[in-house]
Amino acid sequence: MRIGQWDFPDDLAYDTHHQWVRREEASWTVGTTHYSADTAGDVLYVELPAVGVRLKAGEPCGSIESGKWVGKLYAPADGVVTAVNGALAEDPRAVNREPYGAGWLFTFRAEGPGDLLEAAAFRRWLDAELARDPLCRAAAQG
């Protein structure tokens, strides 16, 4: 689906921290949405959780730093980190260029359902968020 100038693949789940999740049975890959990558500006640094770290749903587990801000990454469900995108250490702007591809952040073994929204529910949530913020609404309209 497309909202304003941002793409949100229908086959992903999303959370209210502007992260996406690709669920493949118990192995879930996490990244940041096109909206988040675009509005953040140039990503300069990504701090990811270490492999083996236990995640607790909703708690911070890393961060993304751009020229504009530092944003936290949140665990979308309980689980254990199984892989991180080490290429981001050398090329953090991959998050900006390919948020749903080479800019993925980490993978974990999920131990619960998490608090995720399917694409249609995420669209309703984001539409409401954009309606509350005039600057974001203007950007969404092009």
Q: What residues have CB less than 8 Å from 84, skipping those under 6 apart? A: 48, 49, 50, 51, 105, 106, 107
pTM above 0.75, yes or no: yes
Q: Quick check: is 6 in a domain?
A: no
Q: Quick check: is 59 in a domain?
A: yes
Q: What is the distance of C-alpha 85 from the center of its chain?
A: 13
pLDDT of residue 137: 53
Q: Quick check: is 8 in a domain?
A: no
Q: Quick check: is 37 in a domain?
A: yes
| Residue-number span of the structural domain to which 122 is assigned | 13-140
pLDDT of residue 20: 97
Q: What is the distance of C-alpha 77 from the center of its chain?
A: 13
Q: Quick check: is 131 in a domain?
A: yes
Confirm if 66 and 123 have CB atoms less than 8 A apart: no
CA distances from 122 to 46, 53, 95, 125 (A): 25, 28, 20, 5
Confirm if 98 and 41 have CB atoms less than 8 A apart: no
CATH number of 28's domain: 2.40.50.100
Domain count, the chain: 1
Q: Quick check: is 2 in a domain?
A: no
**Is residue 123 within a helix (H) or strand (E), and if so which, with residue range?**
helix 119-132
Q: Quick check: is 125 in a domain?
A: yes
Q: What is the mean pLDDT of each run of 10 residues along the chain (142 residues)?
A: 85 95 94 92 97 97 93 96 98 97 98 91 87 62 53
Q: Quick check: is 105 in a domain?
A: yes
pLDDT of residue 54: 98
